[in-house]
């Protein structure tokens, strides 16, 4: 790592497996990436590609059994400035990190909000635990946090229960809770997937504002490429439990070096430019053929080979390594140089 | 404490004064479906005697027409009444008021027995590919069920028809002996499509058929629906959140908000030249998949209001950045503001 001082979190060769009745699911198999201070890293990939297992591994919230972190390290530098390996950290120390140094927000707010406590009590609890504040002070912090995330009449809302709020408001409460202790890292696992575009726009706007104020790093998990383009500085693309491409957000969108990333970009409908004109044949989306791979039956070679239109014989021989394509851009495809060549020719 | 019970019984709701039906005309000559002043209220019961204490006005005075072979999108935020409208049109739930004229017949007046033939003509594809298939039935049973009800393709012919349908939706005939849990989300949605097509319908309500799917799979299913629509000349009401998806597949788009139609226009026109402030905001809210584009977006404040007590006048006025005092006074009528372009907004000095 060249910018040692700036790196907040470094995940190296992480392997998280689930031992199920049907066999071993290698949900995360040798995942490596890092996040710098103040940066937003997006992790994209189809459902089942290992995004959530990666984030739960960082939080050490993998259900054990059947899950287990089998290998690799997760190096994190907390507020105390000391670098720790979260894989081997004792649970007591891990508890101090969760909610204090690293917070997480989930896709479905009700999974992390407790229906029997008021939102004020829930936000306040973390504040009392990690900041040693009194109950009254904690309630004040909770009220301030609700105001910060744009909940109207926070003095009143702080005494309400989660079910009294709409989906968008609950998501705000969860963000308020996650940010109440000024974490260095916020992990957001599909925080807007269940929301309407109008509410999504509110939440993304809020997250950007708060990031500027608090200066935290964000690990943003999503499968929505529009959201990635809007939020990310860098992007990690996962497929079948592995990183298949990583790079700067503009590079990933403008010069992808992996066929899966290219396929994803081609398959998104883009508002406006393809709208159907009466009397003309309708345009079509370019779909990636086939299905998401079965994690128990991954092919021996490149995991994308069964769906890849560029596949050649060599692709099924061994899992391709991560190739450094320059400028911090990596690709797990043996043909990446040809894509680079082709893109140059198109641009020339 | 008063317990509030929401039932699906239409109950004794008072039907509000209706505005005249608007002939938001389809682009093809022949009209297949005409929806006039459609209304669906869900009564809220409470108190000691379970009296009706209010109504969820899920669909309130919705009118539009679909031409034969037309694909029309129905978009709007969660809770805007899209699913309710789709189901009321098919009489899967009973409309509280209004007409649904299918092929010249007002089907809201038909008896259950008379509805049977129309049920074959009008099918639905559900949003959730995981919840909409009975886990204890094989694919053959699921697809064959409606054929059975309508006495179509009896005997050996039925299995042939099921095999043919499976191939049509991109699955294999041998899949018919399997159960839903053996399939991925995209494959289940294909089964749902085959089920809807099993009885040769002419009209399909597709209720968010791709919303629950991954991007790459979403594109496959959108393309499949497009192929089938063209091949079979289907008329489709395509319900979605996502304007970008709808544009690919639809000829025209209807935008709903809080139970009412805000705007109707041809797809490209709606996208490039929205005339209603709500459509403008919806388009602006969608994130653009291009990191080099940084645009100023319109952020709508707050949430969609409760459909129990919708705002007076224009239902969008509590979130509209162009609202003026007059917006609270009357419900704006859906007016034609360009060829085939309708909006329910009183202001013509904006957009
Ligand atoms: N059976 C019911 N009883 C009472 N209210 C209902 C019932 N079904 C729907 N509603 C209400 O009617 C309104 C419209 O719901 P509907 O499901 O049609 O919305 P939608 O536009 O399809 O939303 P989504 O995008 O979330 O699917 C909502 O306020 C909903 O809560
Ligand atoms: N508790 C569990 N038990 C067994 N398998 C699991 C468990 N949690 C996740 N998996 C498997 O791990 C893989 C990756 O899952 P996940 O990280 O949740 O995917 P996503 O990228 O959609 O977030 C999937 O194959 C999933 O089925
Ligand atoms: S290694 Fe081969 S199969 Fe895999 S993505 Fe590259 S070209 Fe396709
Ligand atoms: S009628 Fe008024 S409130 Fe409604 S959309 Fe038009 S300007 Fe906005
Ligand atoms: Mg996940
Ligand atoms: Mg719905």
Residues A85 and A131 in one domain: no
Residues A338 and A228 in one domain: yes
For chain A, say whether B215 makes contact (Cβ under 8 Å): yes
Chain A residue closest to B274 (CA)?
A: A272
Of the candidates A167, A230, A282, which has its C-beta nearest B248's C-beta?
Answer: A282
pLDDT score, position A242? 95
Of the candidates B77, B245, B291, which has its C-beta nearest A229's C-beta?
Answer: B291
Distance B207 CA to ligand 6 centre (A): 7
Per-residue pLDDT tens over the stretch B26-51: 555 699 999 999 999 999 888 778 88
Q: What is the CATH number of the domain that holds A339?
A: 3.40.50.300
CA distances from B216 to A307, B7, B149, B156 (A): 11, 39, 35, 37
**A3-14 average pLDDT score:** 82
Residues A131 and A167 in one domain: yes
Per-residue pLDDT tens over the stretch A61-77: 999 889 999 999 999 99
For chain B, say whether A296 makes contact (Cβ under 8 Å): no
Ligand closest to the CA atom of residue B58: 1
**A295-306 average pLDDT score:** 90
pLDDT score, position B211? 81
> Per the structure block, which two tokens stand in for A277?
């004109």
- Residues from chain B that touch A271, judged by Cβ atoms under 8 A, are 243-244, 247, 271, 283, 286, 288
pLDDT score, position A2? 38
β-strand pairing of B97-102 with B31-46: antiparallel
Domain boundary among A182, A212, A227: A182
Separation between Cα atoms, residue A225 and residue B24, nearest integer Å: 35
Domain boundary among A182, A209, A242: A182
Per-residue pLDDT tens over the stretch A113-167: 888 999 999 999 888 988 888 999 999 999 988 988 888 789 999 999 988 887 7
pLDDT score, position B191? 93
Number of domains in chain A: 2
**A317-328 average pLDDT score:** 94
> Per the structure block, which two tokens stand in for B244?
């970008």
Q: Is residue A243 part of a domain?
A: yes
Class of residue B184 by CB neighbours under 10 A (exposed 0-12, middle 13-18, buried 19+)? middle
Per-residue pLDDT tens over the stretch A91-111: 999 999 998 899 998 877 677
Q: Is residue A277 part of a domain?
A: no
Distance B282 CA to ligand 1 centre (A): 19
Domain residues for A43?
Answer: 1-101+183-271+283-348
Between positions 132 and 191 of A, the ones with CB within 8 A of B are 152, 166-169
Q: What count of other Cβ atoms lies within 10 Å of the Cβ of residue A60?
A: 18
Residues A192 and A82 in one domain: yes
Q: Is residue A247 part of a domain?
A: yes
Per-residue pLDDT tens over the stretch B180-189: 988 888 889 8
Residues A298 and A348 in one domain: yes
Per-residue pLDDT tens over the stretch A243-282: 999 999 999 999 999 999 999 999 888 766 555 666 666 7
Contact B66, B233 (CB under 8 A): no
Sheet strands (E) in A45-127: 67-77, 83-85, 102-105
CA dihedral A296, A302, A306, A310 (to 10 degrees): 170
Residues A175 and A206 in one domain: no
Per-residue pLDDT tens over the stretch A25-40: 999 999 999 999 999 9
Residues A313 and A292 in one domain: yes
Residues A32 and A95 in one domain: yes
Of the candidates A168, A232, A288, which has its C-beta nearest B216's C-beta?
Answer: A288
| pTM of the model as a whole | 0.86
Per-residue pLDDT tens over the stretch A205-243: 888 988 988 889 999 999 889 999 999 999 999 999 999
Chain A residue closest to B305 (CA)?
A: A166
Phi and psi at residue A23, in whole multiples of 5°?
135, -175
Domain boundary among A182, A202, A232: A182
- Residues from chain A that touch B184, judged by Cβ atoms under 8 A, are 291-292
Q: Which letter does DSSP use for residue A98 in this model?
A: B
For chain B, say whether A282 makes contact (Cβ under 8 Å): yes
> Residue B71 pLDDT > 50, yes or no?
yes
Contact (CB<8Å) B184/A197: no
Q: How far is B144 from chain A (nearest CA, A)?
A: 25
pLDDT score, position A344? 78
Give the three-state DSSP class for B52.
strand
> Residue B15 pLDDT > 80, yes or no?
no
B69: region left, alpha or beta (phi > 0 left; psi from -120 to 50 alpha): left
pLDDT score, position A275? 56
Residues A54 and A202 in one domain: yes
Ligand 3 first shell, C-beta below 6 A: A 258-259, 302, 304-305, 308, 310-311, 315, 320, 333-335
| Residue A233, CB-side half-sphere exposure with 13 Å CA sphere | 14
Residues A213 and A339 in one domain: yes
Per-residue pLDDT tens over the stretch A156-215: 999 999 888 877 788 888 888 888 888 999 999 988 877 788 888 888 988 898 898 888
Domains and CATH numbers, chain B: 14-44+55-343 (3.40.50.300)
Residues A82 and A212 in one domain: yes
Report the nearest atom of ligand 1 relative to the CA of B81. 18
Separation between Cα atoms, residue B89 and residue B69, nearest integer Å: 17
Q: Is residue A276 part of a domain?
A: no
Give B19's contacts (C-beta < 8 A, 6+ positions apart). Answer: B37, B61, B331, B333, B334
pLDDT score, position A330? 96
CA torsion sign for B28, B30, B33, B39 is positive
CA torsion sign for B212, B213, B215, B220 is negative
Contact A191, A178 (CB under 8 A): no
Residues A140 and A178 in one domain: yes
Q: Is residue A24 part of a domain?
A: yes
- Residues from chain A that touch B245, judged by Cβ atoms under 8 A, are 269
Report the nearest atom of ligand 4 relative to the CA of B322. 7
Sheet strands (E) in B185-273: 203-207, 235-240, 252-257, 260-266
DSSP letter string, A184-202: SEEEEESTTTTS-HHHHHH
Lowest mean pLDDT among A61-75, A277-291, B142-156, B187-201: A277-291
């Amino acid at each position: 790592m060249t910018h040692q001082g700036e790196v907040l979190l470094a995940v190296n060769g992480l392997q998280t497996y689930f031992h199920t009745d049907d066999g071993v699911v290698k949900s995360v198999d040798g995942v490596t990436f890092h996040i710098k201070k103040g940066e937003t890293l997006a992790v994209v990939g189809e459902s089942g590609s290992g995004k959530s297992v990666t984030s739960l591994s960082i939080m050490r919230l993998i259900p054990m059994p059947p899950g287990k972190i089998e290998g690799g390290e997760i190096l994190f530098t907390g507020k105390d400035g000391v670098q720790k390996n979260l894989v081997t950290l004792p649970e007591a120390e891990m508890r101090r990190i969760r909610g204090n140094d690293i917070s997480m927000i989930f896709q479905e707010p009700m999974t992390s909000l407790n229906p029997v406590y008021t939102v004020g009590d829930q936000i306040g609890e973390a504040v009392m635990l990690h900041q040693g504040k009194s109950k009254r002070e904690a309630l004040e912090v909770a009220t301030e946090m609700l105001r910060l995330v744009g909940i109207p009449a926070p003095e009143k809302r702080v005494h309400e229960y989660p079910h009294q709020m709409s989906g968008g408001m609950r998501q705000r409460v969860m963000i308020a809770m996650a940010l109440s202790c000024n974490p260095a890292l916020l992990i957001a696992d599909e925080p807007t997937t269940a929301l309407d575009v109008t509410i999504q726009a509110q939440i993304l706007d809020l997250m950007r504002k708060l990031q500027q104020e608090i200066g935290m790093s964000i690990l943003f998990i999503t499968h929505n490429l529009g959201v990635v383009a809007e939020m990310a500085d860098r992007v990690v693309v996962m497929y079948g439990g592995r990183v298949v491409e990583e790079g700067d957000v503009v590079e990933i969108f403008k010069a992808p070096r992996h066929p899966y990333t290219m396929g994803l970009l081609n398959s998104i409908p883009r508002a406006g430019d393809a709208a159907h004109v009466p009397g003309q044949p309708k345009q079509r989306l370019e779909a990636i053929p086939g299905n998401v791979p079965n994690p128990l039956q991954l092919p021996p070679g490149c995991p994308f080979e069964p769906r890849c239109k560029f596949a050649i014989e060599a692709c099924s021989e061994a899992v391709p390594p991560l190739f450094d394509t320059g400028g911090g851009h990596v690709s797990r495809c043996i043909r990446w140089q040809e894509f680079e060549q082709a893109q140059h020719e198109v641009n020339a | 404490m008063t317990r509030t019970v929401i039932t699906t019984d239409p109950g004794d709701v008072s039907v509000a004064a209706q505005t005249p039906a608007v002939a938001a005309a389809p682009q093809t000559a022949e009209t297949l479906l005409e929806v006039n002043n459609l209304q669906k209220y869900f009564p809220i019961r409470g108190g000691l005697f379970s009296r009706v204490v209010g109504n969820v006005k899920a669909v309130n005075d919705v009118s539009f027409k679909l031409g034969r072979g037309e694909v029309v999108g129905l978009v709007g935020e969660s809770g805007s009444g899209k699913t309710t409208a789709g189901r009321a049109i098919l009489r899967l739930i009973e409309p509280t008021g209004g007409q649904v004229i299918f092929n010249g017949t007002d089907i809201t007046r038909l008896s259950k027995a008379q509805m049977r033939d129309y049920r074959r003509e009008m099918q639905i594809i559900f949003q959730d590919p995981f919840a909409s298939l009975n886990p204890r039935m094989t694919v053959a049973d699921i697809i064959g069920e409606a054929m059975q009800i309508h006495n179509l393709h009896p005997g050996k012919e039925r299995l042939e028809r099921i095999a043919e349908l499976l191939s049509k939706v991109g699955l294999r005939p041998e899949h018919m002996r399997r159960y839903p849990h053996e399939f991925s989300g995209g494959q289940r949605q294909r089964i749902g499509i085959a089920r809807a097509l099993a009885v040769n319908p002419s009209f399909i309500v597709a209720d968010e058929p791709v919303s629950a799917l991954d991007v790459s799979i979403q594109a496959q299913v959108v393309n499949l629906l497009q192929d089938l629509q063209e091949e079979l000349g289907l008329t489709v009401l395509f319900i979605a959140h996502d304007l970008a998806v709808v544009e690919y597949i639809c000829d025209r788009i209807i935008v709903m908000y809080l139970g009412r139609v805000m705007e109707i226009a041809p797809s490209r026109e709606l996208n490039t030249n929205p005339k209603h402030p709500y459509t403008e905001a919806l388009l602006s809210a969608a994130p653009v998949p291009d990191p080099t584009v940084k645009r100023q977006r319109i952020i709508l404040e707050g949430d969609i209001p409760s459909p129990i007590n919708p705002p007076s006048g224009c239902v969008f006025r509590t979130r509209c950045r162009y609202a003026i005092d007059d917006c609270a006074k009357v419900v704006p009528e859906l007016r034609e503001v360009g060829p085939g372009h309708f909006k329910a907004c009183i202001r013509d000095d904006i957009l």
